[in-house]
Amino acid sequence: MATIITVNEPIEEPEPDALDYADPLGIRLGQAFRIPWLRELKIDTQVGTIWLGFWGVMSALLFAAGLGVLTLAAFDQANGQPWIIVKYFANLQIAPPEGLGPAPSLRGGGYWQIVMLLWAGSTILWAVRCYERLRRHRWRPFLLFAWLSAVLLTASIWVIHPLLVGSWADAPALGLNGDLDWAQNFSVLWGNFYYNPWHQLAIFFLFGSTMLWGMHGATILATSAEGSHHEDAEIVGLTSGSQKAILFWRWTMGFNAFPKSIHDWLWWFAVGTVLASAIGIVTTGTVTNDWYVWGVDHGTVLQYGPITREAINQHPRPMPDMPASGNAYEPAPGIQ
Amino acid sequence: MATLEFESAYRKPGNTLFQLIVGGEDPFDFWVGRFYVGFFGAVAAVAIFLGVGILFVAVGQYGDWDLLRADIPPPTRAYGLGLAPFLQGGAWQMVVVFATVAFIAWGMREVDICRKLEMGFHVPAMFSLAVSAWLVLQILRPLLMGCWCEGFDLSFTGHLTWVSNTGFRYMNFYLNPFHAYAVLGFFLTAMVLAMHGSAILGTYKTDPNPAVEMRREDTFWRDYVGYSIGEYGIHRLGFYLAVYTLVMSDLCILTSGTLVKDWVDFWHPF
């Protein structure tokens, strides 16, 4: 693994045209090298180089600045003691302020607003870098639209929804448990997110994405001995590897994609996930304040009937565990 | 169009699992339209027919044909791990049995098709991992919890409500570490899927020579993020991300209620 080999092959790229302007920071950083051990993982051995470029550098600077402010905020919360940060790393939260105005103080949401502004700028500049590199290498802009749809989802969560309901406090706090708690609280605050139909559609696409990766990845690995992984070439003319991949699904389920169309499926399932999620967030607090009530109104909530002890024992549907007495939940041992 | 122009060369008799295990010739070694049948295809077809038939009979008996309201519930807690009368969960038990048979036979049929096409067994391997999620949810975890009532309802609204109830029953499912790892896996598969789809849709037929297009993909990813995993490596990455996600999903539900009753309290010692 320790062996590292320098790569000296020239980089192949299309002839520049009038729109490929001279970038003052347009250099490829460092020297490409190979780590032969990566061949054990059956992945490409070459690492580097990376293109700097004006937009990429600006994006990285804004991201680093946001990380810096975040670290400052963490030190502020921990009274300047690094050990406290390490000990309570998961629970440290940089929270957003109430209302839509600027935060009253740094600790009262100002840190959050500064970090969010810097990172919003960073993601937008990264999109510009994406477009600039895609154009230079003559790709169609699919990757740009995939990135922008992901940006739309983050914008829905951190900007559009808070604006619509009138408070930055509806956005997630920064921090490990801040994220997880937001997911739980946001779901309960707006009724029950499982009954948000866009959330349901997003989960369909999300699970579908994993399923499609399982299917496509497995199909290509199983037929790559005959070259099915050279996908750009397979789109122009099928070899026996792709023929087998096609026939496998045709014989199994009566339907199959082709080397080009399978990637349409992949792209739309991945992008569909974030688009459906974004719609689900934006409609929350606008279309309805309570997705459970929305589900009851639209017949998507399973109706249990009257909840009595007798009904729980006799009803053919399972009920969640309930305390034997009607009194408060008894905490598990160990909770003070 | 039942057959593709190159298909006849691949439609060969023999080389089935049935031959390998039983010895004789597979009595179902033929195609029906586009579908390959085979011994395991016949088993799956019977199991699917019976399972779906029982499902429809039960829905008819419950008397509600509304697609959203129709529901096949598991047995009540009172029946434990025993058999239940048809409308008290017996229908659920029968459908689960036939569905399980159908899933396993379907996987064996995929193995048969792989053997016929002389390709790797990656798809049936991945399919069995997906079936493991069904086995864990509907059979293994109910067995460990001592009650078939732990399985989820077979219906649209029923399984949604089961998910919601199960999440809240263990206090806060987001604090279940395996759930968090699984969600991470789902998000990563979606992201890597978009990246791979964009790479192929972005570059195909942009140059008369496909080899140039493939080198251009590598150059782009190196410029953009400093590394290109390669046209073969990306499929390995996607495959293993899907494996990781499924394993974590299995663990997340298998530990809930059996080892851990409260995922908030779970973190208390830390």
Q: In this complex, do B119 and A232 lie within 8 Å of one another by their Cβ atoms? A: no
Q: Using 50, 70 and 90 to split pLDDT, how confident is the model at B113?
A: very high
CA closest to A241 among chain B residues? B119
One domain for residues A292 and A211: yes
Q: Which of B205, B231, B209 is nearest to B218 (CA)?
A: B231
The mean per-residue pLDDT over the stretch B178-190 comes to: 97
Q: Give the global pTM.
A: 0.92
- What's the domain count of chain A? 3
Domain assignment of residue A47, given as a range? 1-52
The interface predicted TM-score (ipTM) is 0.96
Is the residue at A302 inside a domain?
no
Is the residue at A130 inside a domain?
yes
Q: In this complex, do A206 and B187 lie within 8 Å of one another by their Cβ atoms? A: yes
One domain for residues A19 and A101: no
Q: Using 50, 70 and 90 to split pLDDT, how confident is the model at B8?
A: very high
Q: Which residues of B touch A267 (CB under 8 A)?
A: 193-194, 197-198, 201
Q: In this complex, do A230 and B71 lie within 8 Å of one another by their Cβ atoms? A: no
One domain for residues A215 and A234: yes
- The tens digit of pLDDT for each residue in B155-166 reads 988 898 899 999
Is the residue at A122 inside a domain?
yes
One domain for residues A62 and A6: no
B138 touches chain A (CB under 8 A): no
CB pairs < 8 Å spanning A and B? 330
Please report the pLDDT score of residue A232 as a whole number.
95
Q: Which residues of B touch A151 (CB under 8 A)?
A: none
- The tens digit of pLDDT for each residue in B124-156 reads 999 999 999 999 999 999 999 999 999 999 998
Give the number of other Cβ atoms within 10 Å of residue B206's Cβ. 16
Q: Is B32 helix (H, G, I), strand (E, B) or coil?
A: strand
CATH code for the domain of A71: 1.20.85.10
> From first to last of its 336 residues, what are the pLDDT tens digits of chain A?
567 888 888 888 888 887 777 788 989 998 999 999 999 999 999 998 999 999 999 999 999 999 999 999 999 999 999 999 999 998 899 999 999 999 999 999 999 999 999 999 999 999 999 999 999 999 999 999 999 999 999 999 999 999 999 999 999 999 999 989 999 999 999 999 999 999 999 999 999 999 999 999 999 999 999 999 999 999 999 999 999 999 999 999 999 999 999 999 999 999 999 999 999 999 999 999 999 999 988 888 877 655 555 555 555 554 445 444 444 444 445 544
Q: Which residues of B touch A28 (CB under 8 A)?
A: 223
Q: In this complex, do A264 and B155 lie within 8 Å of one another by their Cβ atoms? A: no
One domain for residues A47 and A75: no
Is the residue at A180 inside a domain?
no
One domain for residues A254 and A268: yes
One domain for residues A30 and A89: no
The mean per-residue pLDDT over the stretch B190-209 comes to: 96
Please report the pLDDT score of residue B243 as a whole number.
98
Ramachandran quadrant class, A252 (left: phi over 0; alpha: psi -120 to 50; beta: rest) = alpha
Is the residue at A93 inside a domain?
yes
Please report the pLDDT score of residue B64 as a whole number.
80
Please report the pLDDT score of residue A300 as a whole number.
86
One domain for residues A232 and A288: yes
Which residue bears the tokens 């009257």?
A306
B61 touches chain A (CB under 8 A): no
- The tens digit of pLDDT for each residue in B14-68 reads 999 999 999 999 999 999 999 999 999 999 999 999 999 999 999 998 888 888 8
Is the residue at A329 inside a domain?
no
Kindly list the structural domains of chain B, giving each domain's residue range(s) and its CATH number in brackets, ordered by start: 1-169 (1.20.85.10), 172-270 (1.20.85.10)
